[in-house]
Amino acid sequence: MELPNPIYFAVPGFVALIIAEMIFARRTGRAQFQPRDTVASLVMGLGNMVSGVLLGGFALGWFIYLEQFAVLEIGYVWWAFALAFVLDDFVYYWAHRFAHTVRWWWADHVVHHSSQHYNLSTALRQPWLSPLTLKFIFFGSWLILIGFPPAMVVFVGALNLVYQFWIHTEAIEKTPKWFEAVMNTPSHHRVHHATNPRYLDRNYAGVFIVWDKMFGTFEPERDDEPCRYGIVKNLGTYNPIVISMHEWWGIVKDVSSAKSIREALGYWLGPPGWSPDGSRLSSKLIKQRWAEQKGDGSPEPAPTPQETAPAE
Amino acid sequence: MKNAIMSDLVILAALVLVVGLITAFLFWLNTRLGGWSPSRIEDNAHAISSLEQDHIGVRFDDESVVVATDHLSAFAFSDDHVRLGLVVAMGDRLVTRLVGPEEIGAITSHGDNQRLMLKDWTLPVIDLSLTPDQINVLKQFVEGHNKA
């Protein structure tokens, strides 16, 4: 069965909504755009689309190969779509969580977080090399092995991404309470994009925020703490090549300077900001320092890193 | 097979063209609509608060703060004067760095300004509109490290 790619159908809607948000931003001041930042995000989105066409075949080929090992044979019935959508979102939560805690995958995902703005164009700021990180093997295989058809898995995955577009906005403050309780919303996702220590590494959800609540990573947005967007070490450039490659280059430099296999593995697969002597700041250390600074107390004193290359 | 690949490439090229045009249109629209102001570093307190916000747990020497005459950049030393905090205006936002002297490649003249070259390809160049005395402070910071 051939299923359409919902992302291609959504593109005109994306463009229309970005235009609407720009006009809304100008009239109300409740959202912010900056032309060069917007273009950088859109160029990253364009590159992501091209790389999807050129490299996406790797993932599709893997899924088709894997299909023969499926435990069940699930057909194209409505409940299977619904179940696949929910299970895919569960897998997305973990894939996303690992994308923030394993530098190899963070090097790819950091692109999406690299803008200091948070608007609908930020949703399209996507990496170019995702298939090469082999994330699809580690996280994309499960549904195929259960027995969902590859085309269905790809379809619900794309629907998940389409859902996530509209939550990249400051134009919507809060949705109804019942919706905030179950679904990922602009408010929840603003927290995810914020670099405030309180908000770092929180709200990994794609569609259903319940995963964060279940696994202890939920943080509500607070009125007394506005989100500051971007990454811990913000980029001083709009150059798409630098946006795309900066963390990869950082890994190459660090691994090549490693003094042992253990160090090299730590730089490659450790959390962003990991260093053998603890001289850089990971999210965990930033949170720890922040807790100490505001007097919350902390079980262990934080080291005093030289901060030569802070974590992102 | 060859024809199929060719037609796919043509479709891809057309897609790139269309999205490129949309991007150009949105840039034009965003520029026409305005609604954003170039960022500037207002004063010493603004520079310090930006640095302390981005570099949790690091204290900066209030007396060492220098805001460039064009208000587009600023620097301050950490309390122990071992590291240099830099604040740079970029678009409508500020970008900061905390660097040791070994991370500064060179300080050169660039027209009426000075240019700080960092060993950081995400922020390789910072133009500083400083007085000769202020630039000397930076040079001493770098040279002190080189002598050591």
pLDDT digits (tens, 9 = 90+) for A112-129: 999 999 999 999 999 999
A186-195, B38-47, B139-148: segment of lowest average pLDDT: B139-148
d(CA A9, CA A32): 26
pLDDT at A304: 39
pLDDT at A312: 39
Of A32, A53, A290, the CB nearest to B12: A53
Q: Which of B88, B120, B122, B123 to mutate to test the interface with A (most CBs of A within 10 A)?
A: B122
Nearest CA in chain B to A124: B23
Q: Do B26 and A292 touch (CB under 8 A)?
A: no
> Hunting for tokens 């045009």 — which residue is that?
B21
Q: Do A286 and B56 touch (CB under 8 A)?
A: yes
A28-32, A206-210, B31-35, B141-145: segment of lowest average pLDDT: B141-145
Residue B110's beta-bridge partner residues?
B113
Contact yes or no for B131/B100 (Cβ under 8 A): no
Q: Do A236 and B26 touch (CB under 8 A)?
A: no
pLDDT at A303: 41
DSSP-derived letter for residue A302 is: P
Per residue in B63-82, pLDDT (tens digit) is 999 999 999 999 999 999 99
d(CA B103, CA A158): 43
Q: Do A37 and B121 touch (CB under 8 A)?
A: no
> Hunting for tokens 């900001």 — which residue is that?
A273
ipTM, 2 dp: 0.90
> Hunting for tokens 């992102």 — which residue is that?
A312
pLDDT at B113: 84
**Interface membership of A197 toward B (CB under 8 Å):** yes
Chain A residues 205-234 within an 8 A CB cutoff of chain B: 228, 230, 232-234
d(CA A23, CA A47): 26
Q: Do A26 and B31 touch (CB under 8 A)?
A: no
The DSSP secondary structure of chain B, one letter per residue, reads -HHHHHHHHHHHHHHHHHHHHHHHHHHHHHHHH---------SHHHHHHHHHHHSTT--B-GGG-EE-TTSSEEEEEBTTSSSEEEEEEETTEEEEEEE-GGGEEEEEEETTEEEEEES-TTS-EEEE---HHHHHHHHHHHHHHHH-
Q: Cα separations (Å) of B46 from A75, A77, B103?
A: 61, 59, 24
Contact yes or no for A77/A185 (Cβ under 8 A): no
Chain A residues 6-45 within an 8 A CB cutoff of chain B: 15, 18-19, 22-23, 25-26, 29, 32-39, 42-43, 45
B80 against B5, higher pLDDT: B80
Structure-block tokens of residue A63: 């899924």
d(CA B45, CA B47): 5
Q: How far is B129 from chain A (nearest CA, A)?
A: 18
Per residue in B119-136, pLDDT (tens digit) is 999 999 999 998 888 888
The candidate with the shortest Cα–Cα distance to A93, out of A221, A201, A243, is A201
Residue B1, pLDDT above cutoff 80: no
Chain A residues 266-305 within an 8 A CB cutoff of chain B: 281, 286, 289-290, 292-293, 302, 304
d(CA A240, CA A246): 10
Q: Do B56 and A289 touch (CB under 8 A)?
A: yes
Q: Do A310 and B19 touch (CB under 8 A)?
A: no
Q: Do A293 and B95 touch (CB under 8 A)?
A: no
Segments of chain A with pLDDT less than 50? 298-312
Q: Do B97 and A308 touch (CB under 8 A)?
A: no
Q: What residues of chain A lie within 8 A of the CB of B100, using their CB?
A: 306, 308
Residue B83, pLDDT above cutoff 90: yes
Q: Do A46 and B19 touch (CB under 8 A)?
A: yes
Residue B109's beta-bridge partner residues?
B114
Q: How far is B55 from chain A (nearest CA, A)?
A: 8
d(CA A48, CA B23): 14
d(CA A188, CA A211): 12
Strand order in the sheet with B66-67: B66-67, B73-77, B84-90, B93-99
Q: How far is B33 from chain A (nearest CA, A)?
A: 7
pLDDT at B146: 58
Please provide residue A219's backbone torsions phi and psi, each rounded to the nearest 5 degrees: -140, 120
First to last CA, chain A: 42
pLDDT at A311: 38
What ranges in A102-149 are assigned the alpha helix state H?
A: 103-113, 120-123, 135-146
Which residues are within 8 A (CB) of A133 and not within 5 positions of it... i.e. 6 or more apart?
A: A104, A105, A107, A108
Of B19, B30, B121, the CB nearest to A22: B30
